[in-house]
Amino acid sequence: MMPNFLNLSDAGGDAVAAMIADAIDRKAARAGWAKAKADADAPLAAHVLAMVFEKNSTRTRASFDIAIRQLGGVPMILDAGTTQLGRGETIADTARVLSRYADAIMIRTDDHAKIEELAEFASVPVINGLTDLSHPCQIVADLLTIVEQGKALPGLELAWLGDGNNVLSSLIEAAGLFGFHVRAGCPQGYEPDASFVAAARAKGVRIDIMTDAREAVAGADLVVTDTWVSMGQDHAHNKVAAMAPFQVDERLMAGAKSDAIFLHCLPAHRGDEVVDAVIDGPQSRVWDEAENRVHAQKSILLWALGKL
Ligand code: CP
Ligand code: NVA
């Protein structure tokens, strides 16, 4: 079967653990090097990564671009708005054509069904750079960041605050794969995707969904949040009002363990889901998390191309 990476479970826990280990090794091996210099083994020399963006991106776009270069390969960026995809060429035909040009395709899109269709018709691996449903590449970088902080994943208590969105879906999937627990503090009506919750619970981890933000963070090892309004969602006034009690501020953060770290996939909406004092504070690891997107993408690419 084609090693697509549409969700973390496509790879499974062992492969994601191998990605994290490889990312740690590669990151250490090139410490202090110029950013565009290829890794010593250049394992993807002469390979092309096509990247299709149907939504905006800073980190995913830039980190995959650097990642493929550091692996010795070449990036090819296609903004959907300037391609025929944006004028109605089908996903299936796009998949067939890009498979002739590139060795792997990364796509950021809206409906998850689109990436499934792309994967069905592509003859090269397809990687999910975010859909409305999930954001698995982000979570490989998050897991790498957590492990780097010296925290073992099994048994961790992760508090999520705010919207039950695509990033939370992939975190919940990771909880099931690595044996950590999630306490999701979400307003009523904004709970995480039920199928991801059920799949993680079936693996024996606790996924608690609660409407009290303080209860969610109490004693947590990690506090994680994300935008209240994801790309493509209407900026509903009601939603923002419902989210207000879930803003991560210093008081809320103080309810977590004293050595808890704060993560946010970014972009942050300072003053909404998080205040400056937390995102710029001593417990925040968001810049390491953002850097780790590069190291994580490299391992994801190596896995997808059978080099891990
Ligand atoms: N975290 C993340 O995926 O950021 P971008 O939207 O900038 O890619
Ligand atoms: N949940 C956010 C993540 C952005 C990286 C969104 O989908 O817009």
Is there a single domain that holds both residue 182 and residue 128?
Answer: no
Q: Residue with the nearest Cα to atom 6 of ligand 1?
A: 57
Beta bridge partners of 184: 160, 209
Query: DSSP E strands: which ranges in 173-290?
Result: 181-185, 207-210, 222-225, 261-264
**Which residue's CA is the closest to the ligand 1 atom numbered 3?**
60
125: helix, coil or strand?
A: coil
Specify whether 276 is located in the same domain as 167. yes
How much is the pLDDT for 32?
A: 97
Q: Is residue 3 one of the residues assigned to a domain?
A: no
Asked if residue 107 belongs to a domain, the reply is yes
Q: Ligand 1: which of 130, 132, 138, 145 to mutate, most ligand atoms within 8 Å of CB?
A: 130
Ligand nearest to the CA of 263: 1
Average pLDDT, the chain: 97
Residue 231 shares a structural domain with residue 270? yes
Rounded distance from Cα 100 to ligand 2 centre (Å): 30
Residue 80 to residue 118: CA distance in whole angstroms: 14
CA separation for the pair 183, 177 (Å, rounded): 16
Considering the domain architecture, whether residues 128 and 179 belong to the same structural domain is answered as no
Considering the domain architecture, whether residues 299 and 267 belong to the same structural domain is answered as no
Both 116 and 195 in one domain: the answer is no
pLDDT in tens, 269-290: 999 999 999 999 999 999 999 9
pLDDT at 235: 74
pLDDT for 238 equals 84
> Would the pTM count as exceeding 0.85?
yes
Residue 140, domain member (yes or no): no
Looking at residue 212, what is its pLDDT? 98
Decide if 268 is inside a domain. yes
Q: Is residue 141 part of a domain?
A: no
Q: Which sequence positions are flagged as catalytic?
A: 108, 135, 138, 226, 265, 293
d(CA 200, CA 203): 5
Give domain status of residue 15, yes or no. Answer: yes
- Indicate whether 268 and 296 sit together in one domain: no
Closest atom of ligand 1 relative to the 135 alpha carbon: 3
Q: Which domain holds residue 260?
A: 150-284
**19, pLDDT greater than 80:** yes
The reply to whether 119 and 202 lie within a common domain is no
Angle at the Cα of 61 (from 27 to 305), degrees rounded to 5?
A: 60
Q: Which residues pair with 248 in a beta bridge?
A: 274
Is position 143 within any domain? no
Q: Which of 7-11, 146-150, 218-222, 232-236 has the lowest mean pLDDT?
A: 232-236
Asked if residues 60 and 108 have their Cβ atoms less than 8 Å apart, the reply is yes
Residue nearest to atom 6 of ligand 2 (CA): 230
CATH at 275: 3.40.50.1370
Percent of the chain with pLDDT over 70: 100
Q: Assess whether the C-beta atom of 226 lies below 6 angstroms from ligand 2.
A: yes
The pLDDT value given to residue 237: 78
Residue nearest to atom 1 of ligand 2 (CA): 230
Domain co-membership, 124 together with 165: no
Q: What is the pLDDT of residue 142?
A: 99
Total domains in the fold of the chain = 2
Q: Is the pLDDT of residue 236 over 80?
A: no
In a shared domain, residues 44 and 119 = yes
Helices (H), 51-204: 59-70, 91-101, 112-121, 136-148, 166-178, 194-202
The one-letter amino acid at 204: G
Together in a domain, 56 and 164: no
Least confident of 99-108, 228-237, 293-302: 228-237
CB of 134 within 6 A of ligand 2: the answer is no
Average pLDDT over residues 190-196: 98
167 and 122 in one domain?
A: no
Q: Is residue 157 part of a domain?
A: yes
DSSP-based three-state secondary structure for 44: coil
